[in-house]
A and B are shown apart, each in its own frame.
Chain A
Amino acid sequence: MADHQGTWWIWKVFWILLIITAVEVVLGIIKPEFMLTQALGTSILNYTFIILTLVKAAYIVQIFMHVKYEKKAMRYALYLPSLILIPYLTFILLTEGSYLFS
């Protein structure tokens, strides 16, 4: 990447990933009382975990895998199938799962 001087941008992402993971682990161990409130099927704590995970995933894909710097056509070719199919599959299976036991 021509616009990248040195390696500081790699280490920046490293620290972001490390801090997010540390926050997740600390939350997972102490499980703060106020985050255990149920909302839309699961606890706020679980939503926090999922959002933090998506942030981590975005950094890995965008920076480490260089997708941010690819051509627009390439970005769409990679993002559209995954961002449509994966949430779709997740939605279908989790909805079905909660009916299976009854």
Chain B
Amino acid sequence: MASTAEMTQEENHWGGGSRPLGARYGKLMMWFFLLSDALTFSGFLTAYGLMRFKYESTWPIAENVFTHFPGLEGDQPLLYVALMTFILIMSSVTMVLAVNAGEKMNRKAVTNWMLLTIIGGFIFVGSQAWEWYHFISGDTGAVETDRQEILHIYNSEGERLSFSQVIHGMENGHASNHGEEFTKGEVLAALKSNKEFYLQEPGKAGKAFTHGESVAMLEAGDVVQGANMIRNEYGRKQFANFFFFITGFHGFHVFSGVVINFVIFYNILLGTYEKRGHYRMVEKVGLYWHFVDLVWVFVFTFFYLV
């Protein structure tokens, strides 16, 4: 009798209809995509880790790079990126609330929570654009040696100086160049005339040079302001490349998430899911949206904190 029972069970399996994973097709496919995407992102982040371990002593410290907060002067490490994290967590929460309301077929609540999720996504992408703008336009400026190494200017008290402070003096200059462009000649003249200025490598264990060495290095090298894919004032070329690539790829995910959320939102307004009898589409985009939040949690830690 047992064999007959097994056979019918097997026939049923081949005939379809059983759901060993207990999830519908769409949701399963979304999960498989997210799994592969998670591996892609871990590839990027571990590649970042590889480069960072390679240049351990001179890798730029994120807190010395991302120090701006809109409307506040001076050094504000981590604050802005903490705000961005908060915005993304918040929009993840409104997304769960939307999914939750969808399960209860509460159309009005789904509409409102989806709208808030979309707004949160927009604010996040906008914040990222602001951060990119500041990263690209630069802060203090740096010296690039003829061997493509980045060095920063310090005074005898160990304070890092901007070109603006080096040239206009501590009282008249700004801690950030504020978009003012300086030539190599101007910086070199100021460096030569001030014996207390010297150059130092970025990072935890960056080497400091004497005043004489510093002048010789700038004479053979050049000045850098801002950042692009080829050179950046913060340190290793790879630092800017990874910043653009990882936050850019994540930002692109957020942007596509906002677009997909909007399509779903539009369908909610049209009543598509009401007619269909379920809000499973909201659950599927919800998974994607939480994934974007999940990735950001890791980017926040490994790019800005550690």
Contact = CB atoms under 8 A, between A and B. Distances in A.
SS class, residues of chain B in contact with chain A:
helix
B206 interface: no
Contact of B82 (A10, A14, A21, A57): A21
B256 interface: no
Contact of A64 (B22, B90, B92, B305): B92
B169 interface: no
Interface residues of A, number: 47
Q: How large is the interface on B (under 10, 10 to 19, 20 to 34, 35 or more residues)?
A: 35 or more
Interface in A49-85: 49-50, 52-53, 56-57, 60-61, 63-65, 70-71, 73-74, 77-78, 81-82, 85
B165 to A, nearest CB: 24
SS class, residues of chain A in contact with chain B:
helix
| Listed residue (A25, A73, A74, A98) with the most chain B CB atoms within 10 angstroms of its CB | A25
B301 A53 contact: yes
A29 interface: yes
Given A21-B89, A65-B291, A71 B22 contact: yes
B85 interface: yes
Given A100-B53, A101-B55, A28 B63 contact: yes
A93 B31 contact: no
B274 interface: no
B23 A94 contact: no
Given A53-B297, A60-B297, A97-B52, A25 B82 contact: yes
Contact of B290 (A14, A25, A64, A89): A64
Q: Across chains A and B, which 7 residue pairs bring their CB atoms closest together, nearest first?
A: A97-B53, A71-B22, A97-B50, A53-B301, A100-B54, A74-B21, A25-B82
